[in-house]
């Protein structure tokens, strides 16, 4: 079992997502729904900080599902591409 935490900061127009452990399919769906809900509180061009350093995908399609779910939230300042981390 894994866990996730989503923090939406409307003042900074930013969402922070932290994934830990292995998420099963139902947990991935819950993350996607929570991200889409949180994105509704943000303006177009919002930023995403994604901490997956402790995430271990359980299913091959989990990463694809998470990316597609992120796109449901609307455009971020990075568009629909993966941001570059420095």
Q: Per-residue confidence of the chain (86 residues) as pLDDT tens digits? A: 789 999 999 999 999 999 999 988 888 889 989 999 999 999 999 999 999 899 887 666 666 666 666 666 665 554 444 444 44
CA atoms of 48 and 60, how far apart (whole Å): 23
Distance in Å from the first CA to the final CA of the chain: 30
Determine whether 1 is exposed, middle or buried from the number of CB atoms within 10 Å of its CB (0-12, 13-18, 19+): exposed
Question: What pLDDT, on the 0 to 100 scale, is given for residue 83?
Answer: 44
Question: What pLDDT, on the 0 to 100 scale, is given for residue 40?
Answer: 92
CA atoms of 46 and 76, how far apart (whole Å): 5
Pair of tokens at residue 45:
């061009």
pTM of the entire predicted model: 0.67
Q: Do the beta carbons of residue 42 and residue 75 sit within 8 Å? A: no
Domains defined along the chain, listed by start: 3-72 (3.30.750.24)
């Amino acid at each position: 079992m894994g866990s996730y935490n989503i923090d939406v900061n409307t003042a900074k127009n930013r969402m922070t997502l932290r994934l830990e452990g292995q998420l099963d399919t139902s947990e991935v769906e819950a993350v996607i729904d929570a991200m889409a809900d949180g994105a509704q509180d943000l303006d177009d061009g919002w930023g995403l900080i994604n901490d997956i350093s402790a995430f271990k995908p359980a299913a091959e399609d989990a990463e694809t599902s998470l990316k597609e779910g992120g796109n449901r939230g609307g455009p971020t300042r990075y568009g629909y591409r993966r941001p570059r981390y420095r």
